[in-house]
Amino acid sequence: MATAETFLSKFRTIKTLPHVALRLSKMISDDKCSMEEFEEIIKMDPTLVIRILRLVNSPYYALREKVKSISQALLFIGMNNLRNMVALEAVKAIFRNTHETEGFSRSNLWLHCAAVSICGQMVSERIFGKNGEDAFLCGILHDVGMIVEDQVAPEIFSRIVRDYQSSYGSFVQYENDVIGTDHCKIGYLLAQDWKLSLEIQDGIKRHHTYTEAITPSSMAGIIQIAEYLVARLNMTAFPSMKYSLSDSIKEHIRETIEEYRVLSNDLPQEIARAKELYEIDSDLKEAAHE
């Protein structure tokens, strides 16, 4: 972890999640918080206010009258959608391009992470009957360590992405061979700094662990499954990136293959719906012009 710590100490793009995002994440987990309290915090972030009102007044909800207050909007969109919006709004700036490198772009990584978050939530809820918000947040952040590498050592990271081939073994092992650490370790330490849940920290740290038994319903298992399914839609972190599954997860999928077939059939439509719902495509266009 020493090299990962060094990379993280040099990462100056962002040190903590925005104050509003942290406050809202804690409040969403607290059943005692009132709508008025949510409204007071949300008002501190004008961009988030605009997104919430735009969402609730979109054709998706097809309301007869325009909603103008945050408290009323929250009644329609619910806490699940609010948390997802907060997560997206809080971290999207990290993925914005400062430059493009051969074979890698932060905008493509953003799209990959968004797709994994959507798929992860589906797997969590449909396959395991669990609340999917943590899987959504973990999916958004699971590859954030690549952003740190790209920010701190862009030339080395560009070479790693350009030269990596699946014949070398796992990408994580290749990262370790070249720079002495990997994006999973770096992302794990960043999640610790942001005081995210232990389950999300573990999911980021172990989502590329293929040689050990991974519990399918764990966060690491859910993100590993989601990445594998998303890769089948060619939505990878970069073109040469390959994804695998641990033996324990392969066995789990074989035992529940019909459920995964239904989920896989629904996945493109769910990604398209969520991209529109959370304005993910507009984020990419916005980033491209900055």
pLDDT per position as a tens digit, 65-76:
999 999 899 988
- Cβ count within 10 A of residue 231: 18
Q: What is the mean pLDDT of residues 248-263?
A: 97
* pLDDT for residue 269: 93
pLDDT value at 186 more than 60: yes
pLDDT tens-place string over residues 122-153: 999 999 999 888 899 899 999 999 999 998 89
Q: For the ranges 110-114, 174-178, 259-263, 276-280, which has the lowest average pLDDT?
A: 276-280
Q: Count the alpha carbons within 13 Å of 234 in the hemisphere toward its beta carbon.
A: 1
The pLDDT-based confidence of 284 (bands split at 50, 70, 90) is low
Q: Phi and psi (nearest 5°) for 209?
A: -80, 105
Q: What is the pLDDT of residue 246?
A: 96
Tokens at 286, concatenated: 């916005």
Whether residue 289 has pLDDT greater than 70: no
Q: Are 59 and 89 in contact (CB under 8 A)?
A: no
Count other Cβ atoms within 10 Å, centred on residue 168: 12
Q: How far apart are CA 186 and CA 205, in angstroms?
A: 8
Q: Residue 150 and residue 161: Cα distance in Å, rounded?
A: 10
Sorting pLDDT into bands at 50, 70 and 90, what band is 97? Answer: low
Q: What is the pTM of this model?
A: 0.84
Amino acid at 89: E
The domains found in the chain, sorted by start residue, are 17-95 (no CATH), 97-290 (1.10.3210.10)
What is the mean predicted confidence (pLDDT) over 260-279? Answer: 89
